[in-house]
Amino acid sequence: MKTFTCACGNRLHFENNRCLVCERTLGFLPGLQVLSALEPAAEGGWRALADGGHYHQCVNYSRYNVCNWMVPAQTGKKFCVSCQLNRIIPNLSVRRNLTLWARIETAKRRLLYTLIQLGLPIVDRGADPKRGLAFEFMEDPQQEDEFSNAVTPQQQVITGHRTGIITINIMEASSSERERMREKMNERYRTLLGHFRHEIGHYYWERLVRPSAWLEEFHALFGDEQRKYQAALQRYYNAGPPPDWQKHYVSAYASAHPWEDWAESWAHYLHMTDTLETAEDYGFRMSTGQGERFEKLMTDWSELSVALNDLNRSMGLGDAYPFVLSGRAVEKLHFIHRLIQERGQP
């Protein structure tokens, strides 16, 4: 993620909606991938100082302040390119849900920023009613203060992907609940952004890998996805990962099934590219090593992730990137890198 510069010269961050120095209202222009200072224009619209264009705020910005993206005025659309992908949003008559929803939207916009940056196709449900992308942010039924204790497993909202629809259980936006789940599932890393990056991996597998010449190489690297999925997950939850999983997989969960291996590896690729972009934006000196772009990416990442973890420890925090990438895991990342190079249109 880059930082941006206000018309007054102040450094701006992706999530900002107001400049703390000049107090201008801000809005992100997805077409330009730029956070811009705004000036009020006629009929409640805004003029973006970055390009002089006329915009209005996404309805989720003007009404709920859970978004900071803009819509070009001439499109006549109400929602920004991120919010128009929503199919179900949380029940806002429950007070707490607005806060949870805001966190969810923030993570989703970060995901979309990277997808746009990589030039990956984002085909929504309107354009492709059967397989297009849509999001559902849902909560377990009969939720009380203590989460889901009274809810039977069948009624629980499962975070996951099915043919283009990504469902997120909104309790993943509650840090205490997410931490509880992380411990219960014995995971090293569990974040909202991580969920988005994982689930979108399933979406791109169906879009870019399944119907393509890449499928054969996918089988060689990740295995046969025809393996019974539900049974494989059940086996993973009952017995855990194989003892030598680190040799083959980026995470323990990746060992559950080739689809999960793919989605976990995909998420790691997005973690890496976004974090490296941030470091570069702040002027951290990266490896000067020449060579192929992927090699450079991996060298930079191994240096940066070690430094990142050490910085966290200096602050008494856990590792930011609690993973070790084996040679096999790197091969899988290389496959994803090549696929994105071919299919992305930056």
Taking the complex as a whole, how short is the minimal distance between the CB of residue 312 and Zn ion, in angstroms?
26
Determine whether 101 is exposed, middle or buried from the number of CB atoms within 10 Å of its CB (0-12, 13-18, 19+). buried
User: Which residue in 25, 108, 35 sits closest to 66, CA to CA?
Assistant: 108
Contact flags string 268-297 toward Zn ion, x per CB under 5 A: ------------------------------
Taking the complex as a whole, how short is the minimal distance between the CB of residue 60 and Zn ion, in angstroms?
4
Taking the complex as a whole, how short is the minimal distance between the CB of residue 291 and Zn ion, in angstroms?
33
Residue 38 bridge partners (DSSP): 48
Question: Of 9 and 243, which has the nearer Cβ to Zn ion?
Answer: 9
H helix or E strand, kind and range, residue 5: strand 4-5
Taking the complex as a whole, how short is the minimal distance between the CB of residue 162 and Zn ion, in angstroms?
11
- Spatial separation of the C-alpha atoms in residues 191 and 178, rounded to whole Å: 8
Which ranges of 56-208 does DSSP label H, i.e. alpha helix? 59-62, 96-117, 175-184, 192-204
Question: Of 89 and 263, which has the nearer Cβ to Zn ion?
Answer: 263
Choices 13-21, 89-97, 162-170, 212-220 (CB under 5 A): range interacting with Zn ion: 13-21
Question: Of 158 and 324, which has the nearer Cβ to Zn ion?
Answer: 158
Residues 293-317: b if buried by 16+ CB within 10 A, e if exposed: eeebbbebbebbbeebbeeeeeeee
Question: How many residues bind to Zn ion according to rule CB under 5 A?
Answer: 14
**Residue from 29, 38, 48, 80 in contact with Zn ion (CB under 5 A):** 80
Query: Tokens for 39?
Result: 């000036």
Choices 4-12, 45-53, 266-274, 329-337 (CB under 5 A): range interacting with Zn ion: 4-12
Taking the complex as a whole, how short is the minimal distance between the CB of residue 24 and Zn ion, in angstroms?
5
H helix or E strand, kind and range, residue 247: helix 245-248
Rule CB under 5 A: is residue 86 a binding residue for Zn ion?
no
- Spatial separation of the C-alpha atoms in residues 250 and 163, rounded to whole Å: 24
Choices 1-9, 85-93, 150-158, 272-280 (CB under 5 A): range interacting with Zn ion: 1-9
**Residue from 1, 5, 10, 344 in contact with Zn ion (CB under 5 A):** 10
* Residues 56 to 75 in contact with Zn ion, rule: CB under 5 A: 58, 60, 67, 69
Question: Of 69 and 222, which has the nearer Cβ to Zn ion?
Answer: 69
Determine whether 48 is exposed, middle or buried from the number of CB atoms within 10 Å of its CB (0-12, 13-18, 19+). buried
Residues in contact with Zn ion by the rule CB under 5 A: 6, 8, 10, 19, 21-22, 58, 60, 67, 69, 80, 83, 260, 263
